[in-house]
A and B are shown apart, each in its own frame.
Chain A
Amino acid sequence: MAHWRVMTAELMQSSYVRNPFSPSDSRHASIQATLATLDNVLQPYADTRMNNGERKRNLEELLKRVALFAFTLFSQPSAWKFEWQEEHGVTSGELCIFPALVQVVDEAGQPVSPPRPFSEAVVRRLDA
């Protein structure tokens, strides 16, 4: 599986990494769909002093960055998982607003136990 991923990603380098988001890039559709989904929720809170088109462009760039990173993770021989720190639920007065990325299978195909963290989760207190 990892083998297939790495090889596929390597063969797709030219169209998805070196020249990303060309007009024929199939990710445009999913980015626009995601943008629409998010904007339905975010629109009411948009600051009217800011340019609305600029806000959408910023969000779109954010999604493109995420798409590139998704491909990067896909191209790795390791396997990964995002951990949402479920123990920091609303009941504890905290909320995890960005998950931690952990490596669950290493480059050699061996499971990593416990998973090796690559980034810290972001947890905020709900003081309100």
Chain B
Amino acid sequence: MIARCIIVFLFGTTNQLAALEKKTPLPTMAGSNQPDLKIRDTPSVDPMLWETATLALPPAYVYTATTGSFETQLSWSNTPLTNFDVLVPLTLGIKYGKDLTLKPGDPATTMGTVALSVAQEPNLQILFQSVVAGVTTSTGIAPSSSATPGASVTSTPSQPSASVPTSETAASTSAVTSGSQPKTTNGGLSTGATAGIAVGCLAAGALLAGLILWFCWRRRGSKTQYSDTNTYALASNEKGFSANAIPLTGEPSSAYTSGGGLPQPLEDKAISGDVSKISNAIKNHVQSYYHTSHVSPGLIDCDDLQALGSSLPISVGTLTTLMGNAATREIALRFIIAWVVVSKIQPSKDPSKSLLPSEVAQCYQAITTGDRGYQGMW
């Protein structure tokens, strides 16, 4: 009724440990109640060649008669094993910890304290795909004081846990011996640790990129704000102020390039767009608010038309006729409004006849006095 538990460890990259194993072979324990230990040799020699060793220290396991289970705790050189990858038993796996199962094909599991439990059965085998010993000795694991130096695998008693059905373990034994290829793993970081590092690096990279973008955006945003406050559209450099191309004054070029106080001229589109908006506004105003029915001639005052300006391109009489005619009234009204507003866009000798701010109009009048070349244009 006493089972033989053969524990097989595969070592992919831990050749150093395998070499250590060879130098100090584990003592074979007498007695059928000591499980044998199978350690695979250096993988490069023969993947299917196994070395067998027995667990070093009694008691190697605790047999619980009530559950028929066989329990042991594994250590490698007195360091409890923390990372397992089970190869056999195939279906039910092995139980560890509290009601946790590790089956072949499951991701390697990291655990602090390992208590394995398998059912008692002759020729029972547990095959681990890979085993990684923990870096530090966990508390709660009693170190084996009489451990042989260099002993690779030890077992110490642990608390009983659930058992594995015997039929399953028997099936898994045959499966292993029929030659499932053990795969080699490196003994470095666990899958969880690798994933954690990857996610951490990704997050740090994203944070860094976000910071850089934020700074760029702020710098550009401040520039945009500056140009907005000036309400000047960005103009290309060749169109902008170039001191060399301005012969109006004798100022040195540094006044423009270093001072930067003067804004760029507006884009052509902005100016022509404003003109067409005004033209449309006049048209909409006339079409919305004026009728085309007959108007008594007595209501039309020629003096008011005279007040529109003295240099009208058409005579007051003609204009009166056009306004009296319903068909041409819209044209006449649009002409009148346009004539008045356009004449007031331009600076005038009389500041009250310009829509420019009065101080500007007055200064302008003073400056252009005697400079007839600027009259009528600006």
By a beta-carbon cutoff of 8 Å, the part of chain A in contact with chain B is 1-8, 10, 12-13, 16-18, 25-27, 29-31, 33-34, 37-38, 40-42, 44-50, 54-55, 58-59, 61-63, 65-67, 69-82, 84, 86, 89-90, 95-99, 101, 104-105, 107-109, 118-119, 122, 124, 126-128
Assess A45 versus B356: contact at CB under 8 Å? Given A73-B345, A76-B271, A97-B338. Answer: no
Interface membership of B215, Cβ < 8 A: no
C-alpha spacing A3/B333, complex, angstroms: 37
C-alpha spacing A122/B291, complex, angstroms: 22
By a beta-carbon cutoff of 8 Å, the part of chain B in contact with chain A is 229-231, 239-242, 245-249, 261-263, 265-266, 268, 271-272, 274-279, 281-282, 285, 288-291, 295, 299-301, 304-305, 307-308, 313-314, 318, 322-323, 325, 327-329, 331-338, 340-342, 344-347, 351-360, 363, 367, 371, 374, 376-378
- With beta carbons under 8 angstroms apart, the residue of A4, A29, A61, A70 that contacts B345 is A70
Task: Find chain B residues with CB under 8 A from A46 CB.
Answer: 289-291
B246 to A65, Cβ gap below 8 A? Answer: no
- With beta carbons under 8 angstroms apart, the residue of B247, B305, B328, B357 that contacts A25 is B357
Task: Find chain A residues with CB under 8 A from B342 CB.
Answer: 82, 98-99
A41 to B338, Cβ gap below 8 A? Answer: no
Chain A: minimal CB distance from B346 (Å):
7
Task: Find chain B residues with CB under 8 A from A80 CB.
Answer: 377-378
- With beta carbons under 8 angstroms apart, the residue of A65, A76, A82 that contacts B265 is A76
Task: Find chain B residues with CB under 8 A from A71 CB.
Answer: 356-357, 360
A95 to B314, Cβ gap below 8 A? Answer: yes
Task: Find chain B residues with CB under 8 A from A78 CB.
Answer: 265
A5 to B378, Cβ gap below 8 A? Answer: yes
Assess A118 versus B272: contact at CB under 8 Å? Given A65-B278, A95-B331. Answer: yes
Assess A107 versus B357: contact at CB under 8 Å? Given A41-B304, A76-B271. Answer: no
A73 to B288, Cβ gap below 8 A? Answer: no
B334 to A27, Cβ gap below 8 A? Answer: no
A66 to B344, Cβ gap below 8 A? Answer: yes
Chain A: minimal CB distance from B378 (Å):
6
A31 to B355, Cβ gap below 8 A? Answer: yes
A10 to B261, Cβ gap below 8 A? Answer: yes
C-alpha spacing A31/B378, complex, angstroms: 21
A109 to B248, Cβ gap below 8 A? Answer: yes
Task: Find chain A residues with CB under 8 A from B333 CB.
Answer: 42, 45
C-alpha spacing A44/B231, complex, angstroms: 40
B378 to A73, Cβ gap below 8 A? Answer: yes
Assess A69 versus B327: contact at CB under 8 Å? Given A47-B291, A48-B291, A109-B246. Answer: no
Assess A26 versus B359: contact at CB under 8 Å? Given A37-B308, A59-B285. Answer: yes
A45 to B363, Cβ gap below 8 A? Answer: no
Task: Find chain A residues with CB under 8 A from B358 CB.
Answer: 26-27, 29-30
Task: Find chain A residues with CB under 8 A from B285 CB.
Answer: 55, 58-59, 62
27 A-B interface contacts by CB (under 8 A): A1-B371, A7-B261, A34-B341, A40-B301, A45-B295, A45-B333, A58-B285, A59-B337, A62-B281, A62-B285, A63-B341, A69-B278, A70-B356, A72-B271, A79-B377, A82-B345, A84-B313, A89-B314, A97-B331, A98-B279, A105-B377, A107-B265, A108-B245, A109-B248, A118-B272, A119-B276, A119-B279
B355 to A34, Cβ gap below 8 A? Answer: yes
Assess A98 versus B355: contact at CB under 8 Å? Given A40-B307, A104-B377, A119-B275. Answer: no
B357 to A98, Cβ gap below 8 A? Answer: no
Task: Find chain A residues with CB under 8 A from B359 CB.
Answer: 26
A38 to B356, Cβ gap below 8 A? Answer: no
B354 to A62, Cβ gap below 8 A? Answer: no
- With beta carbons under 8 angstroms apart, the residue of A38, A61, A127 that contacts B337 is A38
Chain B: minimal CB distance from A60 (Å):
11
B274 to A7, Cβ gap below 8 A? Answer: no
B341 to A66, Cβ gap below 8 A? Answer: yes
B248 to A3, Cβ gap below 8 A? Answer: yes
A126 to B268, Cβ gap below 8 A? Answer: no
B345 to A6, Cβ gap below 8 A? Answer: no
Looking across the interface, which residue of chain B has its beta carbon closest to that of A122?
B279
Task: Find chain B residues with CB under 8 A from A8 CB.
Answer: 360, 363
C-alpha spacing A13/B357, complex, angstroms: 12
